[in-house]
Structure 1
């Protein structure tokens, strides 16, 4: 499943926020979660507000062994907003068991005008309303952006 969008694309109508995890396939949930979150991050709204809409207050993400809490995740979003251009997600597979999701997907982006592709394996725990509470992610850069 591929979700393609670009920086200039407007958010679909309807309330902002994460998709309902109980609706559709696990692949669709993962694609919709990351696409809508990224679109909102690139918008005009304060990044802390966007972050809190998609994550619990006590969120912890461990990415390649690095523990990121709310403050570190919000700090990461500011340069994303400045530097990310077009982006898309290819969700290769995803499974759901209750509030847990495991997924393998590729993020395609343009950073400061240069393409970057990153493969991600994620194990996540979501709330009933679709916010991310915990995740462990393992990444592999397929093509790197050039400075």
Structure 2
């Protein structure tokens, strides 16, 4: 998180995921450029035991574009310690084939000074939509 930012940690997390998702869904946006705009080059994201590096994140955007129809991030709480954050949020999403789903996310992340995600460990679970 940018230390000079006036945003609260909750607003930072909400903005990060909302802006990243909007950019990722833009039909004319290059997936690699989108990932690089929001993630450090050495990014590692582990979600439910699945490890994604930069290349796998770029590959993940293609099916996301095809399947995600609508989304909203509900940030419940965030604890920040400098560049590190722990957050609990719910992703509300409407998918092309499965309809509306809600996923609670427990995130432990580290951000660069300019607000890019460097590392994230996430546990998720489905919740009532």
| TM-score bucket of the superposed structures, by smaller chain | over 0.9
How far is the alpha carbon of 1:142 from its aligned partner? 1.8
Supply the RMSD in Å over aligned alpha carbons: 1.5
Structure 2: how far apart are the matches of 1:80 and 1:130? 23
Stretches of 4+ aligned residues off by more than 4 angstroms: none
Task: Spell out, residue by residue over 1:67-108, the C-alpha distance to the aligned partner (whole angstroms, 9 max, x if none).
Answer: 111111111111001110110010000011000011000000
**Please, what TM-score do these two structures have when normalized by structure 1?**
0.81
- Unpaired runs of 5+ residues, structure 1, are 1-18
Aligned counterpart, 1:77: 61
How far is the alpha carbon of 1:20 from its aligned partner? 4.3
Residue 124 (structure 2) pairs with residue 124 (structure 1): no
- Of Structure 1 and Structure 2, the greater helix share is in 2
**Please, what TM-score do these two structures have when normalized by structure 2?**
0.92
Aligned counterpart, 2:125: 140
Task: Spell out, residue by residue over 1:21-61, the C-alpha distance to the aligned partner (whole angstroms, 9 max, x if none).
Answer: 63211100000000000000011211110011000111001
Aligned length, in residue pairs: 126
Residue 57 (structure 2) pairs with residue 39 (structure 1): no
Structure 1: how far apart are the matches of 2:6 and 2:86? 16
